[in-house]
Amino acid sequence: MSARRVCVLGGGAWGSVFALICRDAGNDVTVWARRAEQVDEINAGTNRAYVGDVRLDGIRATTSLEDAVSGADLVAVAVPSGSVRECAAAFAPYLRMDASVLSLVKGVEAGTLSFMTDVLVDALGCSPQRVLAVSGPNLSAEIARHQPTGTVVAGSDAERAGYVASRIHTAYFRPYVGSDIIGAEVGGVVKNIVAMAVGACTGMKLGVNTRSFIINRGLTEMARLGVALGARSETFLGLAGLGDLVATCSSELSRNFSFGYRLGQGMNVSEALEASAGTVEGATSCPHVLALAGRLGVDMPIAQATQDVLDGHVDVETAALRVFRSPRVTDGVDARAV
């Protein structure tokens, strides 16, 4: 049995690329996917629907959770946020007692309003110290071509986080260690919502000033929610905050940005979702983020305007005007009306 065995749960774009990172870092990697035809393709060295012509040589795939998880000392979860609890409950019986579990998922669970690391801890019945989050400017298509970037491995156990970071460190993928797991989770979720808004502005042919404004005020909303949840404000100036936000809001490779762009060009929500490849996590998470913000008394006007568009209450032009005409407040996390 390999002492460096990694299991990646999910054969989508990010799961496939994270498997590549782990392989290049010297690990024995197995990917679990639901569909037998996708497993066969990965075992043949490709996964064209998600990573194009990038080769996946040396990576094994299986449809068996028991086969994938048993014996792995590092398990990375890369399934859609709505499937995390079900997936975790299913693989829990096969998880090694000392294994670390990485969440690659950016989302908030409906009903519980829990972030994904909390969902994993609950569903697995394990110590929170064993569950970590990976978050940063990590557009999978760029990483697949070995374009350099960084990420944060955030966890409450610094020694474990450092060890996990060493296991996924390559010449093109530089992990940093963080202890603010709440901040990493909030950053990873809210940046998708802001990216939809920035994409919509871009689709409406608004300029750099407008996009910069939305990114900056979106960062403020992100930090405001995070601090209310107990995160450290400085986390949002790092890779899991500003770094991830800028990447997601700047590239057509981002599903959330592209979804918003289509809305800005005149598509309705159903058309834009249908044209999107894979899950648009921002659209899934936005109502749950707003419910969490409401519970905490946190004001998030960009997120609210975005949700009103998703709900069909307003069009993108009206939503944009609402943001720009909102009451004047002081700058920063602790906003006050003026």
Residues of each annotated binding site for NADPH: 14, 34-35, 50, 106, 140, 255, 281
Compute, in degrees rounded to 10, the torsion defined by CA atoms 253, 178, 131, 20: 40
User: CA-to-CA distance for 253 and 2, rounded, in angstroms?
Assistant: 35
Beta bridge partners of 9: 32, 77
Question: By C-alpha distance, which of 240, 232, 226, 235 is closest to 296?
Answer: 226
Task: Verify whether residue 205 is a known catalytic residue.
Answer: no
Collapsed DSSP state (helix, strand, coil) of residue 134: strand
Binding site listing for NAD(+): 10-15, 255
Exposure b/e, 99-133, CB count within 10 A at least 16 = b: bbbbbbbbbbbeeeebbbbbbbbbbbebeeebbbb
- The continuous run of DSSP H or E covering 135 comes out as strand 131-135
**Per-position DSSP letters for 157-176, written without gaps between them:** -HHHHHHHHHHT--SSEEEE
In a 13 Å sphere around the CA of 125, the CA atoms on its Cβ side amount to: 9
Binding site listing for sn-glycerol 3-phosphate: 106, 136, 191, 244, 254-256
| Distance of alpha carbon 300 from the chain centroid | 19
User: CA-to-CA distance for 90 and 81, rounded, in angstroms?
Assistant: 15
Tokens 């590239």 belong to 251
Q: Which amino acid is at 139?
A: L
**CB–CB of 308/319 below 8 Å?**
yes
Catalytic residue chosen out of the listed positions 5, 85, 167, 191: 191
Give the single-character DSSP code of 263.
Answer: H
**CB–CB of 54/31 below 8 Å?**
no
In a 13 Å sphere around the CA of 172, the CA atoms on its Cβ side amount to: 17
Which active-site residues does the annotation give? 191
